Amino acid sequence: MSGNSPEDKMAEAVLEVYDPPSAGQSGPGTKQSDDIRFQFRPSELSLTKEVSWFRHNARSGPRTSVPQFTGSQPRILAMAVVLDEKDKQSRSVDQRVSRLLACCVPTEASLTADRPSPPWVTFRWGGFASVSFPAFLSAVKVKYTRFSTSGEPLRAVCEITLEEIGTTTKGQNPTSGSPSSRQSCVLVRGDSLQSVAVRSTGRAADWRDIARLNGVDDPSKVTPGRVLLLPGSDEL
């Protein structure tokens, strides 16, 4: 009889880190060698998926109007991760927290290319498919709970939130540059040009190209219900 229980053989949870895409790419760039591995498996995961509908007011009708489906919202994955003393690579708690925080700032390569973007990440845990998708870290909240006599943190509880990054769907003729090959979207409440850019290209900075294409002079005045054309990869 084996001494290892099924619990002992459970897959390790890991946060894979990727370079942001370069010009013309619709998916993540090169996978970085330094994954963020969790010493302890998460005790729970919170996954949210919403859809958006837009409904016009029917002032003269006896019934409400038929809503228009405007798109699926990104998956949101939230979890709490415990970092305790040193890991297998002898990295301190502070070093691993810094690694998480680094996923919230633009990479040096993206700044050099004038396309600032933080790294992309993907959560992996065995064959758990519904929580594994290209994403960005939208929030990292750290609570330090144990310290050494010298003041070094020995344990931290990190609450992290991942937001799905959708990949751009190619048109029938993506190199033609014609308006028919472009995608479009309908703004819903809470949308901004930056959030539309993140959903369509993965880069918030591309909002300027969307504004230019649609003749938007003041991004703060875009309203729900407006249809925006999305630039193709050759127009960014």
* Nearest CA-CA partner of 15 in 96, 112, 69: 96
> So where are the chain's domains?
13-52+70-164, 179-235
Judged on CB neighbours under 10 Å (0-12, 13-18, 19+), 181 is middle
Using a cut of 0.85, tell me whether the model's pTM lies above it. no
What's residue 215's pLDDT?
84
For every one of its 236 residues, what pLDDT tens digit does the chain have, with 9 covering 90 and above? Answer: 444 554 456 688 999 999 998 876 777 889 998 889 998 889 999 999 998 888 777 666 667 777 888 788 899 999 999 999 877 778 899 999 999 999 999 999 999 988 899 999 999 998 899 999 999 999 999 999 999 999 999 999 999 999 999 765 444 444 444 444 457 777 877 888 988 888 888 888 889 988 888 888 888 888 887 878 888 766 66
- Tens digits of residue pLDDT in 175-193: 444 444 457 777 877 888 9
* Nearest CA-CA partner of 190 in 96, 102, 71: 71
* Nearest CA-CA partner of 55 in 67, 69, 70: 67
| CA pair distance 32, 12, nearest whole angstrom | 18
Buried (b) or exposed (e) across 32-45, using 16+ Cβ within 10 A?
beebbbbeeebeee
Q: Which residues, at least 6 apart from 19, have a Cβ–Cβ distance to it below 8 Å? A: 28, 29, 30, 31, 32, 107, 109, 110, 119, 120
- Residue 233 · residue 168 · CB < 8 Å: yes
What's residue 1's pLDDT?
43
How is 9-58 classified by DSSP, letter by letter? TPPPEEEEEEPPP-TT-SS--PBPS--EE-SS--S-EEEE--EEEE----
User: CATH homologous superfamily for 179-235?
Assistant: LysM domain (3.10.350.10)
Q: Which residues, at least 6 apart from 166, have a Cβ–Cβ distance to it below 8 Å? A: 74, 199, 200, 202
- Residue 152 · residue 144 · CB < 8 Å: no
